[in-house]
Structure 1
Amino acid sequence: MLPTALLIDFLSVASYLLVGVAFAVITLIISRLIVRRGKGLFRDATYESGMETIGSAWIQFTAAYYIYALIFLAFDVDVLYLFPVALVYGEYGIRDFLEVVLFVGILSLAIVYAWRKGVFEWRSKE
């Protein structure tokens, strides 16, 4: 038999899960009931900040934009790992410093690799 404290912990997690799922389902049901579904003249038109669109909305971007954005996102998230280290920095002295230098060094190698592959060079189509 499970101890009472552990059972209470499981029940609290299960209740949070149940409330979260119920909130999501109820919100979807209410939005389905409230929203008017109709085909209008501008139903499939591209909306651009209330201004009339000029030309086609289907512009093909190069993959360099997406790779550049993914690299930025990856390094942005990796830098967040430096904050917990900075909070406890000094507790172990030189070991913490070497670990941070190793981490930043590996990040730098990834930037150098992307640079050598030409990710940061913008080539025009003209």
Structure 2
Amino acid sequence: MSLVLRDFSFVLIFILLSFLLCFLVFVVPWVIAPRSKGVKAQDIYECGVDPFGSAWVRYFAPFYLYALIFVAFDVDVLYLFPVALGYWREGGSDRFLVLLIFLAFLVFPLAYAWRKGVFWWRP
């Protein structure tokens, strides 16, 4: 076996084991799960109480917008820390330019959202 194939054999084994695990996660519970008998077993169950009202509840949309903005900026800041630390170690104007471009990618969508009024809650 060549050196390249031997190096990639670990990747192939990892992929095969991943597919096997995915298969087992779906098949084993299906095989060992008890089967229900009757129509009553397939009814909706809501903590022992008969269901009432609609299942669709409207939530206040700005909560979702704040959550999405938080996740986006949280991930971006995670990428920003290593770049900033590397900039201080080795420096260079090209890294500083990359850092400024990255910050522009953060600031422009934030300014757009601010201008569109995303951060103002309306009752």
Sort the TM-score into its range (normalised by shorter chain).
0.7 to 0.9
In the other structure, the counterpart of 2:118 is 119
More helix by share: 2
Please tell me whether residue 32 in structure 1 is matched to residue 30 in structure 2.
Answer: yes
- How far the C-alpha of 1:119 sits from its partner, in A, is 1.1
- How far the C-alpha of 1:16 sits from its partner, in A, is 0.8
Provide, for residues 25-54 of structure 1, a one-character-per-residue CA deviation record: whole Å limited to 9, x for no partner: 12211110122243656852356xx99988
1-structure distance, mates of 2:118, 2:93:
35
In the other structure, the counterpart of 2:44 is 44
2-structure distance, mates of 1:73, 1:102:
20
Secondary structure of 2:58's counterpart equals coil
Give the 3 Å change call, closer, same or farther, for CA 53–111 of structure 1 in structure 2. farther
5+ residue gaps, structure 2, are none
1:13 to 2, 6, 11: 11
- How far the C-alpha of 1:85 sits from its partner, in A, is 0.8
Secondary structure of 1:58's counterpart equals coil
CA contact (8 A) 2:84 2:99 kept: no
- How far the C-alpha of 1:71 sits from its partner, in A, is 2.0
Give the 3 Å change call, closer, same or farther, for CA 87–52 of structure 1 in structure 2. farther
TM-score for the superposition, normalised by structure 1: 0.72
Amino acid at match of 2:68: L
Amino acid at match of 1:114: A
1-structure distance, mates of 2:84, 2:100:
12
Residue-pair matches, total: 120
2-structure distance, mates of 1:79, 1:52:
47
Question: Alignment identity in percent?
Answer: 42
TM-score for the superposition, normalised by structure 2: 0.73
Give the 3 Å change call, closer, same or farther, for CA 116–10 of structure 1 in structure 2. same
